[in-house]
């Protein structure tokens, strides 16, 4: 009997520590889905700033794995038209996945940090084509940042702010990389609590 207790008690404690997802009174959603409005400041053209402001949004889904860690996938698009000096346009699509750390700290506020990586697709007259001619192209993309969510009901929350360093590697004739800033806010739907 003592041997069984010697094995069962530590295993039970280890399981509890590994899969504990909340503190008393806190409920963590197993699955969340959200939609954000995004503003992206990009330096698509190299050299003197050449900065472009794109607007759009993204949708995302996250699934809680263990404790405060979620796996997240997102798909987004941003667009700009009438870009000087040639009245050009640019549409940027992204599809990324990664990991998010999220924790409820004060009442219903949940700050988070995440890193996602995947791909991006650019179309429009400013998008480099595969042969260097404007058209469309694909490139590596990643985003790292964080923000704050506010839960106002059991199954609904608001993303108050999200700010990310948003990196892409489109061909631009100089260094083939873009260091972008992505800022957003949106709504969250929570399905089921642990």
- Residue 97 corresponds to which tokens in the numbers above? 């996945």
Task: Give the pLDDT of residue 39.
Answer: 96
- 136-192 per-position pLDDT tens digit: 889 999 999 999 999 988 899 999 999 999 999 988 777 888 899 999 999 999 987
Instruction: Look at residue 46 and tell me whether its pLDDT is greater than 70.
Output: no
Between the alpha carbon of residue 48 and those of residues 44, 52, 82, 105, 133, the distances in Å are: 11, 12, 19, 42, 22
CATH number for region 29-193: 2.40.160.20
Distance CA 53, CA 79 (A): 8
Q: What is the mean pLDDT of residues 107-113?
A: 91
- Residue 125 corresponds to which tokens in the numbers above? 């007259």
- 61-107 per-position pLDDT tens digit: 999 988 889 999 999 999 999 887 778 888 999 999 999 999 888 77
DSSP letter for 129, please: P
- 141-151 per-position pLDDT tens digit: 999 999 999 99
DSSP conformation letters of 139-178: EEEEEEEEEEEEEEETTEEEEEEEEEEEEE----SSSS-E
Task: Give the pLDDT of residue 168.
Answer: 93
* In the chain, domain spans: 29-193
Between the alpha carbon of residue 132 and those of residues 51, 86, 163, the distances in Å are: 20, 17, 31
Instruction: Look at residue 8 and tell me whether its pLDDT is greater than 70.
Output: no
Distance CA 6, CA 21 (A): 25
Distance CA 19, CA 33 (A): 22
- Residue 108 corresponds to which tokens in the numbers above? 């219903």
């Amino acid at each position: 009997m003592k041997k069984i207790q010697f094995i069962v008690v530590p295993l039970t404690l280890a399981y509890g520590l590994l899969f504990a997802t909340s503190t008393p009174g806190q409920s963590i959603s197993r699955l969340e889905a959200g939609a954000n409005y995004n503003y992206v400041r990009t330096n698509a053209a190299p050299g003197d700033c050449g900065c472009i402001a794109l607007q759009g949004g993204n949708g995302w889904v996250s699934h809680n794995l263990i404790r405060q860690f979620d796996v997240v996938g997102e798909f987004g698009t941003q667009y700009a038209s009438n870009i000087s000096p040639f009245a050009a346009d640019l549409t940027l699509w992204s599809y990324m996945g990664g990991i998010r750390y999220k924790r409820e700290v004060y009442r219903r506020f949940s700050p988070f940090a995440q890193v996602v990586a995947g791909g991006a697709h650019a179309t429009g007259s400013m998008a480099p084509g595969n042969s260097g001619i404007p058209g469309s192209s694909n490139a590596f993309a990643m985003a790292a940042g964080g923000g704050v969510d506010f839960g106002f009901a059991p199954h609904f929350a608001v993303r108050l702010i999200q700010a990310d360093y948003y990196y892409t590697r489109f061909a631009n004739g100089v260094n083939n990389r873009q260091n972008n800033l992505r800022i957003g806010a949106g709504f969250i739907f929570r399905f089921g609590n642990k």
